[in-house]
A and B are shown apart, each in its own frame.
Chain A
C-alpha cells in the first residue's frame, strides 16, 4: 500500500504559482528523493503533504487517508533550517517536542538516551541549543524527527553542516529506518547523496513534476546511445560512431542511430582490440538534473 499519494496538487499564493501540478507516490521501506532547483515548489509540496497548507486542487493521502491529529504522531518532519528552541537545553527541548508527538516523559527519556549516545550528543544534552555547533544542532534535529518512531519521515537537506563521519552516520540511520519499513522522503540538492540513498526520485521544476520514478530506470532512460570503453591498445577507426570523448583513460563512444552497443562490441572484437572495460554510459543525476530542468518536461 502507498504510504503517501499525491495526486495533481496545485497551490497559488495570490498571483504566484507555487505548485502547478505534482503527483507522486511513496511506499513503506523506501527512501524517496525529492529534487528541484530553488523555488521549484518542493517546500510547498512538503507543507501540503504535512497539511500545513490546503492545496487549491488535487489531493493528498497519507497513511491511507487525509491527515488528522492522530496521524501527526506518526510523522516526523525536519525543516531545512533550525526548528529547535535556541535558549533551552537540548534534553528539555527534545523531551518537550517529543511530548507533542504523544510520548510520555518516561517513554521519551528512554528513547532519547540511546539516540543521544548514538549521535554523540550525550555529553552536550545539558547545553543550550544555541551553544551547540551547527552540525550538532543538525543531529539534534534528526533525533527530534525520529524519536517518536514515526511511520513517515520527511526530511529537508539532512546532510547540511555535517562532516563526513556524521554524514555516514546519518546515512546508516536512514537506511536502518528504511529497512524497518519506514517511508522516508528526502528533499535535497546534493545529487550524490540521492544517488547513494534513494530508491526512487521526483524532480520538480517550476511547480511541476518533470521527472519521476525508479532511479536506475531514469538513469538508463537518459543514457542515450553511448558506451564507455577502456582498452589496452590503440583504437582503430570504428563504423557507426558519431563522436568520441576521452576522459580519465575511458573513451566514450556516442553511437550513430541504428548502431547498438552490441554492434560496437562486435566491431572491437573483430579488430582484435583488448577490451578492459565496456559499459553503457549512464549520465550522472547532476547531468540529468541540468538537462531535464533545462527542458522542463516530464519523463
Chain B
C-alpha cells in the first residue's frame, strides 16, 4: 500500500505542478468568463440606452400609451417639430428620431434620422410603442392585454419538467453544466493517464518500475493519483461555480442565478454514471498507452474517444425533441455517451429511474471489461517495448507475463 501511495503522490505532483494542468484547471472558468464577457460586449455594442425621439405629423399619437416600466428601457420623447428633434440629435441628446408622415395611417410612412445607426433595443422598443398605440386607437380594451404579452411555458409530456419561454432556468441546466465539467475532467484525467503510460514506456522507466512494484500496484497508484487530480479540478470548479452563482445572484442581483436549486435526482444520475465512465476512460487510456509507441499517436486515438463523449451535445436538438425515442435511449446506455445523454434528457423530461440504474449497470460492466482489457494490453505492451500492439493480439491468447 505504501508503494501505491508513493506512485499516486508522484503522479499527482508531476501533473499538478505542470503549466498545462494549471491551464486546464482554469480553462472552464476562463471559457465561462470569456463567454459571458463576449455576450456582454456584443449586447453593449448592439444596444444603446440613450433616448429616441419622434415627431408625429399624423396626430395619431398625441396621447400615447406608454410601455410598461419594465420594458421601457429607452426613453421615447415626443417632439412638436422636426427642427427641435434634429437639434437634440445633433447635440447628442438623442440617438435617433422618427418622423411619422401626415398620412401615416394609410401610407405607413416613417422616416428615421440618425448620426450613427441606433441600437437594436431602441428600434425594437419604438416598433412596440407604435404597434401598441395603433391597437389602442382601434381596440382600447385590448391595449393592456397586448402590453402584458404572453407567458408561454413548455411542459414535458410527463408533466414533470417545465421550461419557460425565456429559456431554461439555472436549476434545469445545472446538471448539464456539471456533466459537461465532468466529461472535461474525464477527458483530461484519462489523457494524463495515457500520457504517463506512454512516456514511461517510451523512456523505459516502466521497465525499472515493474522490477520494483507489481503491475497492479503500478496501475492502482496511477489511477489513484489521476483520480486525485480530477478531484482537485472538480473542487476548484465547484468553488468557482458557487462563487459565480453567489456573486451574480446575490451580489449583482441577476435573477437567473438566484433561481439556482439542486436537482438531486439529476445529480444522483450523474454520480452513478460518472464513476464507471471515469474508470472505463482511464482503463482504456492505459490500454491505448500500452499499445502505441508514441504520445502523438496516442493523442490521435484519444481524439476518437473525445468525439464519442461530445456526440450527445451535437444531437441535443434531436434529444430535446424526442427524449424517449430509440436513439436517445440507445445513447443513454452506450459508454461515453450515457452520462451526457441522460443529463440532456433530464433537462426536458425526467428519465425513468430504471433506465438510469440499467445504464449504470451497463457502465460498470464496461468499466470491468476496460480494466481487463487494460491489464492485458499493459502486460502485452511490456513484451514489446517500442513495438506497436494490435487489438487482435490483445484478444488472441493469454499473455504469460507477471501480474
Contacts and interface: CB of A to CB of B under 8 A. Distances in A.
A219 interface: no
A82 B3 CA distance: 22
A144 B209 CA distance: 11
B213 A72 contact: yes
Contacts, number: 68
A56 B400 contact: yes
A273 interface: no
A82 B210 contact: no
Interface string A248-275: 0000000000000000000000000000
Contacts of B214: 69
Interface residues of B, number: 22
A51 B383 CA distance: 12
Contacts of A73: 212
A interface majority secondary structure: loop
Contact of B211 (A50, A88, A99, A102): A50
A83 B208 contact: yes
B205 interface: yes
Interface in A155-205: none
Given A53-B383, A84-B203, A75 B401 contact: no
Contacts of A77: 207-208, 211
B203 A101 contact: no
A97 B211 CA distance: 11
Nearest to A141: B208
Given A96-B6, A100-B6, A100-B7, A52 B210 contact: yes
Given A13-B383, A101-B212, A53 B400 contact: yes
Contacts of B288: none
B261 interface: no
B207 A52 contact: yes
A79 B14 CA distance: 23
A77 B10 CA distance: 21
B14 A88 contact: yes
B204 A82 contact: yes
A2 to B, nearest CB: 20
22 contacts: A52-B207, A52-B402, A53-B402, A54-B402, A69-B214, A73-B212, A77-B207, A77-B211, A79-B207, A79-B208, A81-B204, A82-B205, A83-B204, A83-B208, A84-B203, A84-B208, A88-B14, A96-B10, A97-B212, A100-B6, A100-B209, A102-B3
